[in-house]
Amino acid sequence: MSPGTPSPETQGRRTPGADLPDHPDRLWRSAEPKRAYDVVIVGGGGHGLATAYYLAKNHGITDVAVLERGWLAGGNMARNTTIIRSNYLWDESAGIYEHALKLWEGLEEDLGYPLLFSQRGVLNLAHSLQDVRDSVRRVNANRLNGVDAEWLTPEQVKEVCPIVDVSPDVRYPVLGGTYQPRAGIAKHDYVAWGFAKAAADLGVDMIEHCEVTGLDVRDGRVTGVQTTRGPIAAGKVALAAAGHSSVVAGYAGVSLPLQSHPLQALVSELLEPVHPTVVMSNAVHVYVSQAHKGELVMGAGIDAANSYRRRGAFHIIERQMSAALELFPVFARAHVLRTWGGVVDVTPDASPVVGLTPVEDLYVNCGWGTGGFKATPGVGWCYAHTVATGEPHPLNAPFSLDRFTTGKLVDEHGAAAVAH
Amino acid sequence: MLLIACPWCGPRDEAEFHYGGQAHVAYPEDPAALSDEEWARYLFFRDNPEGLFAERWSHTAGCRRWFNAVRDTATNEIHAVYRAGEPRPVIA
């Protein structure tokens, strides 16, 4: 029996989650590395896969390999809390995140693959007078940039998400919140599989269990990569290695303004639908949604100390849980099913680095910190343009490496919504 | 959670400490003489190794003093702690 066929016993009675789509056995071909490619992408996560897809689709570049040291999309793409929104403060951020959101809105059709993209809205709560001022300012900035945003009173917050405690006698009372109705969640694995399948169908090689151990640089130009599966020559090399970007870029002598930290998340057991939207709180460091299957999905802040261990400190989880319980008293009897961590690469201004490097034909996409998932299609689109043309796309031009020299930072600590 | 041996107080939970990032980054002797690239490097670029890393900690819930540690960021094992002003110990 193929995996897509319901067994006779289950036909006719649908259990929660049974409307999740089934999958064919193989979505892409796991390729053997060739000796040379026009473009080698280092990192088979969401960003690497989306970049490969748009290189092939938008630019006709199909002699492309995606190298992944583990299994495809097993890093932060498998570990994030799948929140999608574009309500950042600055024009530069609105440009790239809103481009991503618009792509999300047509992505299932474009990839021909279900992504469970659900525009259930995102609430960002304010708990202090300063939070309120910053939030209202951000709503106004969003609107000027054509990004949907509303300021909600505590009563309106309660209408959108009835399980939020908006009573005034708690330690951090809810004084209101910003709301982006077009924001939401998607199923992260399906997003990765959708991009991988679509890219593979266009001729891109997916090469798993292939760790990059060196970058070949000759006369200031990258010519290939050294891997655990042998050397691979490359016309261009595009890094998309997230938490390990500093290590990989270091092989070419390129320094990046990154610090790698563990970031944790957790899920509850499956519960009936209680949480209709996504709630984030910058001040108390928690963000919660309910997955299609029914788990409450919660994220925490990063561990303060640098680490490449995919395991964070327990007191971070404790703080996250206490914050979640105060906001959602109904969670008190939920059980944690599992917790996990990933390694995120954080920049000084909480904005990414996407563009050229001092080494010719070597490109970098990193520094997305705690919020890279939402950008997946947008950055894939722009990074592919950058790699294909050798010039930054207008939407990622502000996120160049040299902004740290010019001083033209894009400070998104307020809107990044996770403690950095 | 890390167990960090404060050089003055002994081993305590990580939650008692505040992290200070890379150690031994000296303030430039003559900041005005730096190029934009050199100033950017001082302000924004820090080492980010997967391996041994000399870093600063402050025992905020204890003696409130700063000190340094050498920790392996791949394993979180702390190889040495030493007082501010002391040189980075050589780890075999």
Residues of chain B with pLDDT under 50: none
Q: Which fold has domain B3-83?
A: Folate-binding fold (3.30.2270)
**pLDDT at residue number A284:** 80
The predicted-structure confidence for A290-329, as pLDDT tens digits, reads as follows 999 999 999 988 999 999 999 999 999 998 899 899 999 9
**pLDDT at residue number A19:** 67
Average pLDDT over residues A22-32: 81
pLDDT of residue A71 exceeding 90, the answer is yes
User: Chain B: residue nearest A349 by CA?
Assistant: B44
Check CB contact of B33 with chain A, cutoff 8 Å: no
pLDDT of residue A6 exceeding 90, the answer is no
What's the DSSP call for residue A91? Answer: H
User: Chain B: residue nearest A317 by CA?
Assistant: B1
CA angle at A238 for the pair A235 and A242, rounded to the nearest 5°? 160
The pTM (predicted TM-score) of the whole model is 0.94
Q: Where are the domains of chain B?
A: 3-83
Mean pLDDT of chain A: 93
CA angle at B54 for the pair B51 and B58, rounded to the nearest 5°? 130
Q: Which 3 state secondary structure label does DSSP give A128? A: coil
Contact yes or no for A246 and B18 at CB 8 A: no
The Cα of B34 is separated from the nearest Cα of chain A by a number of Å equal to: 12
> Sign of the CA dihedral A14, A15, A16, A17?
negative
pLDDT of residue A16 exceeding 80, the answer is no
User: Where does A240-375 show beta strands of DSSP type E?
Assistant: 259-270, 278-281, 286-290, 295-302, 336-346, 353-356, 362-366
Check CB contact of A136 with chain B, cutoff 8 Å: no
Rounded percentage of chain A residues whose pLDDT exceeds 70: 93
The predicted-structure confidence for B66-75, as pLDDT tens digits, reads as follows 999 999 999 9
pLDDT of residue A7 exceeding 50, the answer is no
Q: Are A345 and A366 in contact (CB under 8 A)?
A: yes
The ipTM is: 0.97
When CB atoms are compared, the residue of A246, A256, A315 closest to B1 is A315
